[in-house]
Amino acid sequence: MSSWSSDSFGVSALTPEVQADQTLFGSSSGYSVLEFIDEGCFGKVAKCRNLATKESMVVKILKEDVDFIPDTEKEVSILEVTSVLNPDHTNVVKFFEQFEHMGQTCLAFEMPDRSLYDLLYERDWKPLALNEIRIIAKQLLVALDALKGLGILHTDIKPDNIMFVNMQDQPFKIKFIDFGEAIPASKVQLGMWLQSTGFRAPEVALGLPFTEEYEAANHVKAEERQSFIDLPNSLDDLVNIYPKGEAAEYEDRKAFVDLIKQLLHLDGDQRISPHRALQNPFITKSHVSEHTDSSFTECCTSSRLNTSGTMISVCPMEASADRDYLPTPMLMIQLPVHLTEDYLPTPLLKIQLPGLLM
């Protein structure tokens, strides 16, 4: 369920619709439309074949509507700003070109593999292992730090917009997509209506100044079947939600929860920044070296990940009846807009427990 926009209202009838098998001509190549993979108030998103390189690509076809011209211009201006970034090093989607087709603005991007939402769905919502969370989180922090340096707020970070580049050749290498809702931090005003409802930060939803203290929202949507695990009363309780395993794995749990607590700090002046979060022990795995005799340490250190997420080897953490520890519950850390670019936003915390659905 990849997503390049969140709202679905159809495409304007004033413009002839692009059809499958049609060819769109850009300045650098032609793009043969294979199928449409998303549709919304913005227009359509097509999976295309680049006729010059034969590679699969994504072309976002923005509707020709006077009401959406400002949105189109805003998205193009944001992409121009982010074009100075190295997309492979900063984990943002690679933007190739802008062109016009029958009066419609078209934006050509690289074609990712699948979204984080898709992966969770394919796994039947089984929890992510700590090593998998670490790899994804590190790349998210790198991207946020790069965007912060440009003064850009994405404002629509959610599992649908976190894409895996190629799960076969580059496991867990991710990219941010969809900058249609992104805005310069300098344009943020108190009370602005930002983000999808289910992923809206508390301070945005309440229209309160960012310096106010809020209680972080925990969203747990239960399935009909009953869970036999007691829900945690605090973030610290997450460490013990599963039986205590070997020492290194338990230390890894504590390091993870410590990072979550810093991401959720109510005081914006004390909330951890993306740059500082990249130095957190959970990300650097500095705490793991203290357990040199642990098989868990060997597994953790087998994953070599630079800041861009390239050349990584993920330790398998799939469910197994004979392993001697269970993974920490999946925490979907949503990073919505914060009304300053200096600190990470207050995340909405999603806790995935066995027997529960998002």
What is the residue whose two structure tokens read 């002046």?
269
Task: List, for residues 241-287, the tens digit of each pLDDT value.
Answer: 888 888 889 999 999 999 999 987 766 667 789 999 999 999 999 98
- The parent domain of residue 92 ranges over 23-110
The reply to whether 209 and 259 lie within a common domain is: yes
In a domain, 302, yes or no: yes
Per-residue model confidence (pLDDT) at position 70: 83
**Tokens coding 325:** 């520890």
In a domain, 214, yes or no: yes
Question: Mean pLDDT: which of 32-36, 206-210, 323-327, 335-339 is highest?
Answer: 32-36
Q: Of 113, 118, 156, 178, which one is the catalytic site residue? A: 156
- Which of these three, 59, 88, 110, is where a domain ends? 110
Is 258 catalytic? The answer is: no
Distance in angstroms (rounded) separating the CA atoms of residues 238 and 242: 8
Among 153, 145, 179, residue whose Cα is nearest residue 71: 179
240 contacts: CB under 8 Å, gap ≥ 6: none
Distance in angstroms (rounded) separating the CA atoms of residues 185 and 160: 23
Write the CATH number for 28: 3.30.200.20
Task: List, for residues 315-326, the tens digit of each pLDDT value.
Answer: 333 333 333 333
Among 300, 304, 292, 305, residue whose Cα is nearest residue 316: 300
How many domains does the chain contain in total? 2
Q: How many whole angstroms from its chain centre is CA 343?
A: 17
Per-residue model confidence (pLDDT) at position 9: 33
The reply to whether 192 and 321 lie within a common domain is: yes
Task: List, for residues 124-153, the tens digit of each pLDDT value.
Answer: 999 899 999 999 999 999 999 999 999 998
Rounded mean pLDDT of 48-77? 89
**Reduced DSSP (H G I as helix, E B as strand, rest coil) percent helix, strand, coil of the chain, to 5:** 30, 20, 50
The reply to whether 106 and 145 lie within a common domain is: no
- Which of these three, 82, 110, 138, is where a domain ends? 110
Query: Picking from 99-113, 160-174, 268-282, 313-327, which range would have the lowest pLDDT averaged per residue?
Result: 313-327
Per-residue model confidence (pLDDT) at position 13: 42
Per-residue model confidence (pLDDT) at position 175: 97
The reply to whether 160 and 118 lie within a common domain is: yes
Per-residue model confidence (pLDDT) at position 208: 58
Distance in angstroms (rounded) separating the CA atoms of residues 228 and 222: 12
Per-residue model confidence (pLDDT) at position 106: 95
Rounded mean pLDDT of 313-337? 37
- Which of these three, 92, 110, 128, is where a domain ends? 110
In a domain, 3, yes or no: no
The reply to whether 43 and 145 lie within a common domain is: no
Residue predicted with more confidence, 289 or 63: 63
The reply to whether 188 and 257 lie within a common domain is: yes
The reply to whether 102 and 137 lie within a common domain is: no
In a domain, 240, yes or no: yes
Radius of gyration of the chain, Cα coordinates, nearest whole angstrom: 21
How many CB atoms lie under 10 A from the CB of residue 236? 12
The reply to whether 331 and 297 lie within a common domain is: yes
The reply to whether 194 and 136 lie within a common domain is: yes
Rounded mean pLDDT of 78-87? 96
How many CB atoms lie under 10 A from the CB of residue 54? 8
Per-residue model confidence (pLDDT) at position 289: 66
Rounded mean pLDDT of 221-244? 68
Question: Mean pLDDT: which of 109-123, 146-160, 187-201, 224-238 is highest?
Answer: 109-123
Beta-bridged to residue 237, according to DSSP, are none
In a domain, 16, yes or no: no
The reply to whether 340 and 227 lie within a common domain is: yes
Per-residue model confidence (pLDDT) at position 291: 58
Task: List, for residues 1-12, the tens digit of each pLDDT value.
Answer: 556 554 433 334
Residue 232 has pLDDT above 70, yes or no: yes
The reply to whether 52 and 129 lie within a common domain is: no
The reply to whether 187 and 80 lie within a common domain is: no
In a domain, 1, yes or no: no
Q: What whole-number percentage of the chain has pLDDT above 90?
A: 44
In a domain, 332, yes or no: yes
Whole-model pTM: value is 0.75
Write the CATH number for 136: 1.10.510.10
In a domain, 159, yes or no: yes
